Structure 1
């Protein structure tokens, strides 16, 4: 017989851990969790969760599992080698004294407990009926050891183990029981939080990091700035326990308002663009005074961002782990990191359980694709049904989102009027005079105007931005270019430069050509905007980067909107359009009614109402069709019907290294790749990978496929990091000024 019942085998840096020791670690996490967020569960459910914690791994007390985790010399004879190993979660349920529990708990509570233990690790359903009787006899020999082991721990001495384990719980493990939404929600809370505790205990990190008194930090910040709460901030501060849909002017202080609404609750702040997420995160640290160890940054490039902010210090892997597992009291993230649970795929429960006691902030919801917008709306239904809260705040809100929330019976408050940015006289600020130009946006059109100020040019596609930049090269006028097709090192330099020029206190002038990268929540303030029309909502986001917090006192336009001849870049009467063609056409039609007029904040919101109503867009609108179809499909989805997470990103990217960049940095890139191939500590490996990624550019999969097929470039070779990670070296042209150009760099073929 074994001397100890192990839960985990010994590793190079860790000793073996017994079942009782591992369980006790989960109980410590359970206790910590309950002290930080006591209202996350009812009193009864805290007890059910504790029972799930205590029973979840007792099924590891079986010969096949113990032989796996013990050293060879400690293994014993397997009396039933012909039988397949039964997953330990299934075996654990055989030790649970069901009849005794039914005397203390309801049938639903016991069912949820057993389901949580049974499914705490997702396994393909198998039939073990042929081996049950023999395995039951074998399990009996481990009962005294379990009782003795657990009796040595004060926190687990009340664990009741069946004297004769038996597989008699089949009626309690039917997944069809979870088709009832109330049962599903109950199960998600217990099973999801069991997983959360288990991962934290196994990963040796805190399941939840205690909050750091955000309201006090906000009080101090406002006091030092000499600010009082404005109308929006007061509104949310006094309604912290409600869900909200808020329309408010750009520059009014929506971020601060959201933080007042959060209070001391767990918060998740979502934005559509990584550049704006990074900016908000840095603001929280530098201005609000939040702590890096309690404020998480979570998106696909998070490791690189954490390394940048670590300076010369070692990467704090515990902080990164807390961020990845949503263990921080405040996390800034992209929406796709949290909303995929609506697919109800196996393993979704931990994320939704975490959101059940969280407050979710969704900034600029109108910027998301119709498919992702539908996911968000349905996700809010699940979150609120589970007890979580949400705040949608935006300068422009298409009415279809409000309609969908109402249709799903999602509770929320929406004030009857928007919150408008006001000037020092307490009057709505007037920032923009708009002129519609029914032509292409060209260098010649821009040169008709005075450019000795801060000039922002926003176009719909990278190709258009590059063409416009090239056109300016023939002049003596200096311009800068920013889009998403630069290697990360060059892009960071450009983002820093445009943010510096865009500060109110900066008195310099300059011209920047950009794409939609700067559309949302990027705090820059330029003097004039030349932009292609995408749609009305996107236009107003772009306008928010001009005269952000000041009155415009002149009559001449400071916003020039080019509708194209016949269409601007990226707009087509096909599915290839970056904006739905119907929405573009309706936007143009409505905007022309306001040509050469002052466009105040209320007018912008009225225009959005006119453009984005179902009546205005009609049945032919692809955006509306996709939104409705996605909502309908996932609304009726049964739990575990889908086997994988849904893909939320509409454009799939491939990281590549431009040939010219590789050629210039060949020695360094090859050296990094050689070091990565060695066995290194995780933090060193991450730093090396990030160093390597500085030379990469994300491109759409279709562009990568074109290069593979040699349509306009080719793959000259590939840097292979491991079997999961590789960076093709691509012969597309690349310059530090223009980024990657989808044309073959013929010089690369003769190196």
Structure 2
């Protein structure tokens, strides 16, 4: 027999861990969770969770598992070697003293405990024949060894636990189990990583008050309202630039918070602002590039950055700034969703700029909020433009929330609502001549719907000898960073330089800039108002001439099609936006009027059932409502477009020596020091500087057109295809064949 019953094998420079050592680690983290958030469970639920921690891994005391995590020389004979391995979670239930536990718990409480242990790992369905044989012939050998380790086991292993582990089909009946199982997973992950399950929150209010005092400022009406309503679910409409971020942080206060935004650039900026300006350091950064962002910020503390990343991914930070897709996917009810939902049940959940999400993602948000509030969590939706369609579906799903009687509008020094925009509608195409005719003022921003249109306009200006700069999503990371830095420099309120920038919707919410005049194609009203937020961002506009020119196209503007599959936005939303906006041509567009316009366009009645946006929103909500828990086996992909990172061939040629040297260095690391994760990630980061993200369809088109040269490989799962699409630092990527590519 084994002298020590192991739960964890030796990994790296660590040591093996016995079942009791691992269990004690869980119980320690259980105490940390209870001390940090004592009110998230009832006393009986805390006791159930403690017992779940105590018994969850005891089933690892079986011959197959103990042999599996040992060297060959340490293994013993397996008398049941013809049988498949039984997952240890199922065997843990066999060891549990059911008679004793029946005296302690009600039937439902005992079921909740047993299910939490039984399902704490997602495994294939239990093989009853194998389980019964192992319980009868193998587990009894380990009773004395377990007792020696300190486990209280008054009964022999039992096969009679099946009636306690059958899941109900309705989600609401599963809530007690979800809470316990999710928190058990959270504690287990923390104990396995030897990291705290939760870092205690500090009072954000104190940090914000100090921040305000340093600015010689006081909380405004919005911030005061949010500060005074911390226990309510809220839907807030407020002007751009009014201080919604500070207001949301006041609302979170002393509690755990998750703050979501649509774009990674915005998230990075708010993360840095919370840490560096407000001074609250225990904040996590969660999106698809978190690891690389942490590496940049903790350059000299790599191991620390890894531990912070692990805590962030396990939602253990007191405040996390995240993209919505990293959190809200639990609404798909896939196996393992419980950790996120149980954590959100004691969170303050902030959703900023909800109007920027696709209808599918909005559906996930609505159903996610339904489950969160039913579990006891709180939410705050903040936006400058709130489509009434969202309110309709929140109310339809009976999600409780409070909405103030009026929006919060930015005021000037006299206490009057600030006026920032005079709008002119042009029913023609946006061209370089149009912008020139209306005067290229000090800081001119041109926003169009597609990259192709942006590139076309850039060429038009260049042909006329006018200096202009271009920014869109199809530049390499290196070139895009340089361009974003440049546009932000010009876009500072204190900058008095002049310049013209042509961009796409990448600047709608991701880049904090303040320009003097905007020329833009119409997409739809919410997108237009986001774009208008980049002009006179926090300033009063007292002029009478338009500082916003909106182009609806001779027929249609770029990216808009009556066939929705080819349209960047819903065609019905575009048409309705155009119809309503024309009523206000030449007028001063106040913040209150913007909100009225949104009300006129984005109701269910006005968009109508034929709108693809409405159809997708309704259909996705119905799909999610009709899902049985655990019916879907995989997490959903919530991003609207599946992108591929590629290296344009001309970029590869220009940087070939650097790229090849990095590949060779990576190969040497694999051979000589495979655990040097820091350098591997640094190489990945350096190679990514040469990449452009393109849609999957464009990647497939390149493959089908023989435009593929080679893969720049980072390992089995990460590689960057080199494709011969045209590319220049001026124009970015063009989906034309690069005739200079010489590998053909």
TM category (shorter chain) comes to over 0.9
> Is contact 1:250-1:544 (8 Å) kept?
yes
1:168-214 CA deviation, whole Å, 9 max, x = no partner?
11111112x2x233331111111111111111111222221222332
- Provide the rounded CA distance (Å) in 2 between the counterparts of 1:214 and 1:635: 36
Unaligned stretches of 5+ residues in structure 1? 151-158
Alpha-carbon distance in 2 for matches of 1:742, 1:313? 41
Aligned equivalents of 2:154, 2:299: Cα separation in 1: 55
User: For residue 304 of structure 1, what is the aligned residue in structure 2?
Assistant: 292
SS of the aligned residue for 1:217 comes to helix
1:746 match: 739
Deviations 1:66-121 (A, max 9, x none): 11122322222212112211110000000111121121111111101111110111
| 1:165 is the counterpart of 2:160 | no
Aligned residue number for residue 76 of structure 2:
76
Q: 2:628 aligns with which of 638, 644, 648?
A: 638
Q: 2:180 aligns with which of 165, 175, 190?
A: 190
- C-alpha offsets along residues 197-243 of structure 1, whole Å, 9 cap, x if unaligned? 11111122222122233221101100011111111111110000111
Provide the residue aligned with 1:113 in structure 2: 113
Q: Deviations over 1:106-149 (max 9, x none)?
A: 11111011111101111111322365155323212211211221
Range with bigger deviation, 190-199 or 624-633 = 190-199
Q: Equivalent residue for 1:156?
A: none
Superposed, which structure 2 residues align to 1:311-330 within 5 Å? 311=299, 314=302, 316-330=305-319
Q: 1:690 aligns to what?
A: 685
In structure 1, C-alpha distance between the alignment counterparts of 2:92 and 2:227, rounded to whole Å: 47
Match status 1:552 vs 2:547: no
Deviation (angstroms), 1:567 = 0.6
Once the two structures are TM-superposed, the CA of residue 686 in structure 1 deviates from its matched residue by 1.4
Query: Which of residues 214, 223, 227 in structure 1 aligns to 2:217?
Result: 227
Residue segments in structure 2 that go unaligned for 5+ positions in a row: none
Q: Deviations over 1:266-307 (max 9, x none)?
A: 11111111121122122212211121xx11111112223223
Aligned positions of 1:261-660 closer than 5 A: 261-291=251-281, 294-311=282-299, 314=302, 316-520=305-509, 522-574=511-563, 575-660=565-650
Return the alpha-carbon distance in structure 2 between the equivalents of residues 495 and 331 of structure 1.
25
Shift of 1:311: 4.6
* 8 Å CA contact retained: 2:447, 2:521: yes
Instruction: Give deviations 1:505-562, integer Å, cap 9, x for gaps.
Output: 2222211111111112632211111111000111111111111112110111000000
The alpha carbon displacement at 1:409 in A equals 1.0
Corresponding residue SS for 1:123: coil
On the 8 A contact 2:286/2:312 being kept in 1, the answer is yes
Is the partner of 1:208 in helix, strand or coil? coil
Contact 2:179 2:342 in 1 (8 A): yes
Q: Does 1:245 align with 2:274?
A: no
Q: CA–CA distance in 1 between the matches of 2:263 and 2:64?
A: 49
Distance in 1 (CA, whole Å) between partners of 2:471 and 2:306 is 32
For residues 613-638 of structure 1, the C-alpha deviation after alignment (integer angstroms, 9 at most, x for no partner) is: 11111121000000000001101211
What does residue 45 of structure 1 align with?
Answer: 45
What RMSD over aligned residues (CA atoms) do the two structures have, in Å?
A: 1.5
Residue 498 of structure 1, CA deviation: 1.6
TM-score when normalising by structure 2 = 0.97
Q: CA deviation at 1:684?
A: 2.0
Which residue, out of 721, 729, 732, partners 1:736? Answer: 729
Q: Give the Cα separation in 2 of the matches to 1:661 and 1:288.
A: 40
Which range moved further: 428-437 or 346-355?
346-355
Decide whether the 8 Å contact of 1:140 with 1:163 is kept in 2.
no
Equivalent residue number for residue 19 of structure 1: 19
The equivalent of 2:718 in structure 1 is 725
CA deviation after TM superposition for structure 1 residue 335, in Å: 0.5
Q: Distance in 1 between matches of 2:486 and 2:199?
A: 35
Distance in 1 of aligned mates of 2:676 and 2:183:
30
- Asked if 1 retains the 8 angstrom alpha-carbon contact of 2:84 and 2:130, the reply is no
State whether residues 136 and 165 of structure 1, in contact with CA within 8 Å, keep that contact through their aligned partners in structure 2.
yes
The question of whether the paired residues in 1 share the 8 Å contact of 2:580 and 2:597 is answered with yes
Q: C-alpha separation between the residues in 2 aligned to 1:676 and 1:136?
A: 51
For 1:312 and 1:741, the matched residues in 2 are separated by 39
Asked whether the 8 Å contact 2:234–2:379 carries over to 1, the reply is yes
C-alpha contact (below 8 Å) 1:543/1:559 kept by paired residues:
yes
How many residues align? The count is 737
Which of 180, 194, 198 is the equivalent residue of 1:204? Answer: 194
- Name 2:655's counterpart in structure 1: 665
Residues 437-491 of structure 1 deviation map (CA, whole Å, 9 limit, x = unaligned): 0011110100112224111111111111111112111133221111111111111
Deviation at 1:313, TM superposition (A): 5.3
CA contact (8 A) 2:449 2:558 kept: yes
Contact 2:6–2:60, Cα closer than 8 Å, also in 1: yes
- Whole-angstrom CA distance in 2 between matches of 1:438 and 1:625: 29
Pick closer, same or farther for the CA change 1:422–1:130 going to 2, 3 Å: closer
Q: Is 2:91–2:131's contact at 8 Å kept on the other side of the alignment?
A: no
Q: What is residue 154 of structure 1 aligned with on the other side?
A: none
- Verify the 8 A CA contact 1:275 1:517 in the aligned structure 2: no
- For 2:711 and 2:131, locate their aligned partners in 1 and report how far apart those are by CA, in whole Å: 50
SS at match of 2:734: strand
Q: Is the 1:462–1:483 Cα contact (8 Å) retained in structure 2?
A: yes
1:83-102 alignment runs, 5 A limit: 83-102=83-102
Residues 170, 629 of structure 2: 8 Å contact kept: no
